[in-house]
A and B are shown apart, each in its own frame.
Chain A
């Protein structure tokens, strides 16, 4: 199944993540780099190589704080990788974490690197409030006003409206090209594929149920306790609602298209903080350090779609990926489709089941087919877990790896939709040893 004979195999050696912590309306306990440190310290601490042996650190992050310029480098140095290990940050919106894996994957496959730390992190709760343009101009005027009279004159031009902050998180979740919020693009998909409010809520309830069951079964070996400086440790994803019900979900009001819409806070992914990190290695590195391996990254693919239907990104990127690898739907044992919105996941499934859609837009000669719900997001998804945008792309790959292991399955696809109208997909193979 080698897609390109000149490329080298790339293995996942290990991976960890922090619990995903729901944003509670104020800045959370961790910055994006703090989260990555909590996930990365133990990850690197339990390897047979030292952090200085890494060849690169690649981190996806959408909105690092002003103190975290090139956050990958900040994280590398804080993790003790030393001055000589280079690091760069990637930003591909909701797929930044997957882009980081892809960048590391390519450099290893091309023979440039042997050992790379890659993943994503996001502290959405700490997205800053910004001054609006009026305030910025007024402040600029004040600082250039010389002398008391000029300053007083400038003060006189102050208007209360200048104090209205720009909420960077909301701006970030708004598409500037089509001027739609991400939730509104989900409303578009619901309309296009006839997905009802009830279907969305049923799907969401199931996501919570699955996550709760996985927690009760003590799955998530990749999850590390995360410590703040004030005596608290966070050990579990806290977005899960065990007391949720269809009635409760039905009572929620639509938040993007008010009044007549159907996308609610309950059937959308949660705003969260979290980080997920993986160690990727070449065959040579695996041999050199006698590393255990948990999976192989076979291939990745990206696709562009209409920004107003950005939620269909997984359909396009995955279909392309499967075509290139000569695989059909039946060849894939488990699926992770990131749950940006319940409507968006359901729309992807509908598109694949729709023969005319598949023929017209995906270049298939028949419907891609129905993905068995029991093989999709089997431990819940971002609706229950949260969607720290920079981290999710790496998180779903790590989750998928663990599921393939637990189910002793062979192959899986992790795919994610991207604000701005893109999709990313990664094909993973369950391996336990490197075949010489």
Chain B
């Protein structure tokens, strides 16, 4: 038996049934990520396996409690000197995985928890994969979310294993799937409950059954002529969602596959080269930056000890009802209060719909629904750890409510308002302890929008704000700490942009051109459609509210007129656009617009940038990065551009600039 060497990040053990257990246990890290050193050691380990004659096979598993492998270490992305260095490192990684794949002894990847990116690529190079069948196990290749694509053979091995359509779907979407779905797709041999995981892994080592192969039909999808046809289709579907100019990596995956297929050495070489190049693209740099921004928001108030159990939400309208549903969905006991039972019923219905969309199993749906208690009498107020007010925007009503809440609530409970416009310092004047009030401002639709503004009034106790931030994290949302100033951050910056878009409309520029201009800029939705979606009545009331504080705010007549006519947007079937019953927009006949669309987008974005600068100067948030985070996660501001402030920086803009004319 070869001498067992010791490693920094790996551990090899031999079990009595003659199996080598290779544990990945990255030093000084809570989760396993792959970097250069890890790979070098792994290469040595494969050499050990290759020379081993005393064992029947090997099982690669994680030495961590949480997850298998979280992918490549993103920090190393920025350390590459140039494209050549990146490519050569990718080649080395590919070579190590190929060596793994070529081992004569059967190697099984035993996957529990996340197995994504480079982690899945490693697993794909093993001969068998078994995965735990549980909610925490997720497998996928999410590299495209960072503007690159898999670079250690993932784009080659996955389509080879399960056929192009399913493989491309997974790679191009960047989605992760459960062990069960992975097994159904064929890239995991067995998905079993934890109690059978080791037994299953050993089974594949000891019995080494025939390895999984693509079906005849799946193989056919990788054949030369078929690739040409399918690639057309993949590109067609991709273009509906993203532009190749903004997000090239997805299109590179399709192009490489189309030209070089999944056999031989060449597709690997092309994968390494195109991935290496992508590391140095603006899109990848910006998306990596956003990844870190997201990590920063996730890490806020990390040391705050706050474990709320019971959330009481007052106001069962769209926001309150959906906040309550989301809290219940995230595992909290929730009471939802409104004046009458019939006002609560629609919120229960929406909560059920949320559960049905998100959870397949009826027993899981029931669990969530049982946690959500309609509470006309407001009994929950005295039991809750967090009380969230989401009633109509009226100062006196809110004051009355919080006075009552303060008298009933547990002393350590935090009082939160979801107001989007009323300053906290006006609400908290009625409180004995004004420091207890914090803003927790959700965006509509609650289930979809990642960002939540945590609003601090001048008297808000910092420890209360930290508790609110920690609570928002427990809701799996991204907290953005903002100062209580009119419109907070996101609405404040968004509104001049929306209003200006309507002004352009008043000036005779077709709305299709305005929306198209911003889509081409990279926004997820054009501003006119966005206004319709938010609701024109809401837009108008936010605009009027901001006008009180920023007298320069001009409200376009068109907006006022439509609201007067009851045309409030998507929800009433007509706003600027008209909508079908199911909410889909009826495309208006195309109006010609000869001038460059870039003029429109430049003008609108400048409005946004100027407001962003103003927010920075007023200290609405502490730094420019938080503005970028807020606008990207709160409004979907073109992520590949890195956020408004970063975008301004790339344009060389440092201060307020004149809005360019059209």
A and B assemble together: yes
Q: Is B375's CB under 8 angstroms from A235's CB?
A: no
Q: Which residues of B contact A78 (CB under 8 A)?
A: 366, 370
> With a CB–CB cut-off of 8 A, which chain B residues contact A230?
349, 352
Nearest CB on A from B314, distance (A): 15
Residue from B335, B352, B374, B377 having most chain A Cβ neighbours under 10 A: B374
List the A side residues contacting B569 at CB < 8 Å: none
* Binary per-residue interface labels of chain A (208-230) against chain B in the complex, 1 for a CB within 8 Å, 0 otherwise: 00000000000000000101111
How many angstroms between the C-alpha atoms of A45 and B335 in the bound complex? 9
Task: Render B315-348 as a binary contact track against A, CB cut-off 8 A, 1 for contact.
Answer: 0000000000000000001010000011011101
A196-251 residues at the B interface, CB under 8 angstroms: 225, 227-233, 235
* Interface pair B349/A229, CB less than 8 Å apart: yes
Within 8 A of A (CB), among B447-491: none
A37 at the interface (CB under 8 A from B): yes
Report yes or no: A46 in contact with B341, Cβ–Cβ below 8 A. no
* A432 to B371 CA separation, bound complex (whole angstroms): 32
- A-chain residues with CB within 8 Å of residue B366 when the two chains form the complex: 78
Residue tally, chain B, CB below 8 Å to A: 22
Chain A residues with CB under 8 Å of B341's CB are 225, 227, 233, 235
The smallest beta-carbon distance between A407 and chain B, in angstroms, is 24
B346-398 contacts to A (CB < 8 Å):
346, 348-349, 352, 366, 369-371, 373-377, 379-380, 383
Distance A79 CA – B376 CA, assembled complex (angstroms): 18
> A227 with B345: in contact, given A45-B379, A46-B377 (CB under 8 Å)?
yes
- Least Cβ–Cβ distance between A276 and chain B, in angstroms: 18
Tell yes or no: A373 within 8 A of B by CB.
no
Q: Does A41 lie at the interface of the complex (its beta carbon under 8 Å from any beta carbon of B)?
A: yes
CB distance A41 to B373 under 8 Å? yes
Cβ of A80 within 8 Å of any chain B Cβ, yes or no, is: yes
Residues of B close to A231: CB separation below 8 A: 345-346, 348-349
Contact B379 A233 (CB under 8 A): no
Are B369 and A45 in touch, CB under 8 angstroms?
Answer: no
Expressed in whole angstroms, the Cα–Cα distance for A227 and B343 within the complex equals 11
Please tell me if the beta carbons of A233 and B345 are within 8 angstroms of each other in the complex: yes
User: By DSSP majority rule, is chain B's interface helix, strand, loop, or mixed?
Assistant: helix
Which B residues touch A228, using CB under 8 A? 348
B376 touches A45 (CB 8 A): no
B216 CB → nearest A CB, Å: 29
Q: Which residues of B contact A79 (CB under 8 A)?
A: 370
The chain B residue with its CB closest to the CB of A47 is: B379
Q: How far is the CB of A279 from chain B (nearest CB, A)?
A: 14
Of B345, B352, B383, which one neighbours A45 at CB under 8 angstroms?
B383
Evaluate contact between B373 and A229: CB separation under 8 angstroms: no
Residues in A with CB closer than 8 Å to B369 are 229
> Is A42 among interface residues, defined by CB-CB distance under 8 A?
yes
B346 to chain A, nearest CB (A): 5
Closest to B342 in A: A233
Q: Do residues B379 and A37 form an inter-chain contact, with CB atoms below 8 A?
A: no
Q: Write the chain A residue with the least CB distance to B350.
A: A231
Chain B residues within an 8 Å CB radius of A229: 348-349, 352, 369
In the complex, how many angstroms separate the beta carbon of B133 from the nearest chain A beta carbon? 23
Cα–Cα, bound, A233→B376 (Å):
12
**Closest CB in chain A relative to B350 CB, distance in Å:** 8
* CA of A42 to CA of B333, assembled, Å: 12
Q: Given the complex, which residues of B lie within 8 Å of A45, measured CB to CB? A: 335, 373, 375, 379-380, 383
* Given A45-B380, A78-B370, A80-B333, A233 and B344 contact (CB-CB distance below 8 Å): yes
Asked if B370 and A42 sit within 8 Å, CB to CB, the answer is: no
How many whole Å from B299's CB to the nearest CB in chain A? 32
Partner of B370, one of A37, A225, A233, A235: A37
**B346 to chain A: closest residue by CB:** A231
* C-alpha spacing A201/B574, complex, angstroms: 57
User: Are B344's CB and A227's CB within 8 A?
Assistant: yes
Q: List residues of chain B with CB within 8 A of the CB of A37.
A: 370
With a cutoff of 8 Å between Cβ atoms, the chain A residues found around residue B374 in the complex are: 42, 225, 227, 233
A235 to B345, CA, bound (A): 11
Q: With the chains together, A231 CA to B353 CA distance in Å?
A: 11
Complex formed: what's the CA distance from A32 to B346 in Å? 22
**A233: min CB distance to chain B, Å:** 4
Interfacial chain A residues near B370, Cβ < 8 Å: 37, 41, 78-80
A54 to chain B, nearest CB (A): 16
Instruction: Given contact pairs A80-B370, A229-B369, enumerate 12 new A-B contacts (beta carbons under 8 Å).
Output: A37-B370, A45-B335, A45-B373, A45-B383, A80-B333, A227-B344, A227-B348, A228-B348, A229-B352, A230-B352, A231-B348, A231-B349
A-B contact pairs, 7 of them (CB 8 A): A45-B373, A45-B375, A80-B333, A227-B374, A228-B348, A229-B369, A230-B349
Q: Which 6 A-B pairs have the closest CB atoms?
A: A225-B341, A231-B349, A229-B352, A46-B379, A233-B345, A41-B373
